[in-house]
Chains A and B, each alone.
Chain A
């Protein structure tokens, strides 16, 4: 039972980090109808900047710069691909794969074989409550993700930005008729998504993961099934999808010794199995309203 609760907490924590990444995905898709395949490299970029700067600026300062860098690159992608090139949405989605490859290649070159620490203050410390042992980073991930998601939801519901965002997602032409500046909304969506990914990078690479290396973005890719199974255009979907994937991964990974007949590394595969199973039943995802036929 103790093991189950530990796994569950770890899963929820992991899931809340996936939810942060998936949220960025959904925000971009709602505002611009583009599936951003460069999301994982934005995350790696944010993480890399934080890792390089934390010795000089301290963790918080470095993270702030990392968040800004990822947000700026996100906004730049929007500016170049959507605003300047005015390419059709499907073409932009494919172009983001190109951007992902370029960013990833450069970051891999810089990283080489290093494993960098992001300098987070929690390190390998654990907390033990009533026999349940959990890493502090996992608690921090849950708390930070919950706060950010909460702030996002409030902004989405009540601020002019959030209302504009929802209006544009529903009918961009009419939003323009009402005076909403589509370019600003679109660019802010990409920047917010980049910023969320950079924060997620901290918890993707923190203990018990050894640190940031070339493969960190693979972990970020699990937010793909999270966003897709939730429904690419649903904020609620991103949150539920993230948690579902996180918990699945943690539980299947934790109990894989009992599941050896299915082979090793099942925890990494499980998220995709869950995604496929859900899409078979609900093609537009759990909470989605549009089928993802644009990609």
Chain B
């Protein structure tokens, strides 16, 4: 392997030339991305583009899915995270709120938060309850009884209990009502404003580009496109492929056209 270039001082999380396979199937091929300190970086892409694989690789849980890192390097500041055990990755400050929330439904809200950070100081708990007051109100309730949006809040609160430097969010607004998605989006901005860098994976490209400073577009396991989010949002290709708009059509029309095409 070529020596990776020195990590820039302002980089919270860096992925270089990452290749991941699930047994014989290659899922990521030479993916590189950076999360600058204090910023929100988005990863866009269609289903199966490798977004969740990227998250699993960073968090070190590929083995739960029969996957492994072939080559490349993942690092957080000076610490190399490639192939590290998940608990070491969490300890070095990279924590994920996984796709589908994955809260512990048989446990209480309070216990879920404990799992996130057993030794979290009181001010961290307070920060979580300030961000998500509903979790404070429901702390004794079974987590499975929360609504979808509240479960997403719990998943994010649980991840914040570990005091991450970099928060990985995999599809935080998936399946939520627009109003709740908006609320979650605002919270992501607030978490970032308080100093946590965020790597955000989203299918909702419009939302992701609005929240983030910089974005990468994954396509079949490779970075197809990258750039400042505002520029990507303005680019024709991204608008056509990920935002569902072409030059002269409104989003609604584009969606309709999509359905017709699918039927035919």
**Which residues of chain A have a CB within 8 Å of any CB of chain B?**
160, 163-164, 166-167, 170-181
Q: Is the CB of A174 within 8 A of B91?
A: no
Query: Which chain B residues in 189-220 approach chain A with CB under 8 Å?
Result: none
Residues of A within 8 A of B98 (CB): 174, 177
Residue from the list B86, B104, B106 in contact with A179, Cβ < 8 A = B86
Residue from the list B59, B64, B87, B114 in contact with A163, Cβ < 8 A = B114
Greatest chain A CB density within 10 A among B64, B86, B105 is at B86
In the bound assembly, the distance between CA atoms of A28 and B107 in angstroms comes to: 19
6 residue pairs of the A-B complex, CB under 8 angstroms, read: A160-B114, A171-B104, A178-B90, A178-B115, A179-B90, A181-B85
- Can you list, as one digit per residue, whether each of B96-119 has a CB less than 8 Å from chain A (1) or not (0)? 101000101111000100111110
Residues of A within 8 A of B95 (CB): 177-179
Tell me if B158 is interfacial: C-beta within 8 Å of chain A. yes
CB nearest neighbor in B for A167: B115
With contacts A160-B114, A176-B64 taken as known, whether A171 is within 8 angstroms of B102 at the C-beta atoms is: yes
B163 to chain A, nearest CB (A): 11
A154 to chain B, nearest CB (A): 15
Interface residues on B, range: 20 to 34
In the bound assembly, the distance between CA atoms of A249 and B117 in angstroms comes to: 46
Tell me whether chain A's interface is mostly helix, strand or loop, or mixed.
Answer: helix
In the bound assembly, the distance between CA atoms of A180 and B60 in angstroms comes to: 13
Residue from the list A166, A172, A176, A178 in contact with B158, Cβ < 8 A = A178
B33 to chain A, nearest CB (A): 20
Tell me if B156 is interfacial: C-beta within 8 Å of chain A. no
- Can you list, as one digit per residue, whether each of B52-85 has a CB less than 8 Å from chain A (1) or not (0)? 0000000111001000000000000000000001
A112 to chain B, nearest CB (A): 46
With contacts A174-B102, A176-B61 taken as known, whether A181 is within 8 angstroms of B107 at the C-beta atoms is: no
CB nearest neighbor in B for A170: B104
A26 to chain B, nearest CB (A): 15
B89 to chain A, nearest CB (A): 8
**Which residues of chain B have a CB within 8 Å of any CB of chain A?**
59-61, 64, 85-87, 90-91, 95-96, 98, 102, 104-107, 111, 114-118, 158-159, 162
CB nearest neighbor in B for A289: B106
CB nearest neighbor in A for B100: A174
Residues of B within 8 A of A171 (CB): 102, 104
In the bound assembly, the distance between CA atoms of A176 and B162 in angstroms comes to: 13
In the bound assembly, the distance between CA atoms of A166 and B118 in angstroms comes to: 14
Residues of B within 8 A of A175 (CB): 115
A253 to chain B, nearest CB (A): 38
Residues of A within 8 A of B118 (CB): 160, 163-164
Q: Is the CB of A167 within 8 A of B64?
A: no
CB nearest neighbor in A for B114: A163
A202 to chain B, nearest CB (A): 34
Residues of A within 8 A of B91 (CB): 179
With contacts A160-B114, A176-B61, A179-B87 taken as known, whether A170 is within 8 angstroms of B96 at the C-beta atoms is: no
Residue from the list B86, B105, B107 in contact with A177, Cβ < 8 A = B86
Q: Is the CB of B90 within 8 A of A170?
A: no
Residues of B within 8 A of A166 (CB): 104, 106-107, 111
Residues of B within 8 A of A178 (CB): 90, 95, 115-116, 158-159, 162
Residues of B within 8 A of A181 (CB): 85, 87
Residues of B within 8 A of A163 (CB): 107, 111, 114-115, 118
In the bound assembly, the distance between CA atoms of A167 and B115 in angstroms comes to: 7
In the bound assembly, the distance between CA atoms of A163 and B59 in angstroms comes to: 22
Residues of B within 8 A of A180 (CB): 87, 115
In the bound assembly, the distance between CA atoms of A174 and B87 in angstroms comes to: 11
B213 to chain A, nearest CB (A): 25
Q: Is the CB of A173 within 8 A of B107?
A: no
Q: Is the CB of B90 within 8 A of A174?
A: no
In the bound assembly, the distance between CA atoms of A172 and B91 in angstroms comes to: 18
B65 to chain A, nearest CB (A): 8
Q: Is the CB of A170 within 8 A of B105?
A: yes
| Extra contacts besides A163-B115, A179-B91, A181-B85 (8): CB < 8 Å | A163-B114, A171-B104, A173-B61, A173-B102, A174-B102, A179-B87, A179-B117, A180-B115
In the bound assembly, the distance between CA atoms of A163 and B105 in angstroms comes to: 13
Residues of B within 8 A of A176 (CB): 60-61, 64, 86-87
B94 to chain A, nearest CB (A): 10
B145 to chain A, nearest CB (A): 15
Q: Is the CB of B107 within 8 A of A179?
A: no
Residues of A within 8 A of B64 (CB): 172-173, 176
In the bound assembly, the distance between CA atoms of A170 and B91 in angstroms comes to: 22
Q: Is the CB of B162 within 8 A of A179?
A: yes
Residues of B within 8 A of A170 (CB): 104-107
In the bound assembly, the distance between CA atoms of A178 and B95 in angstroms comes to: 7
CB nearest neighbor in B for A173: B64
Greatest chain A CB density within 10 A among B59, B95, B118, B162 is at B118
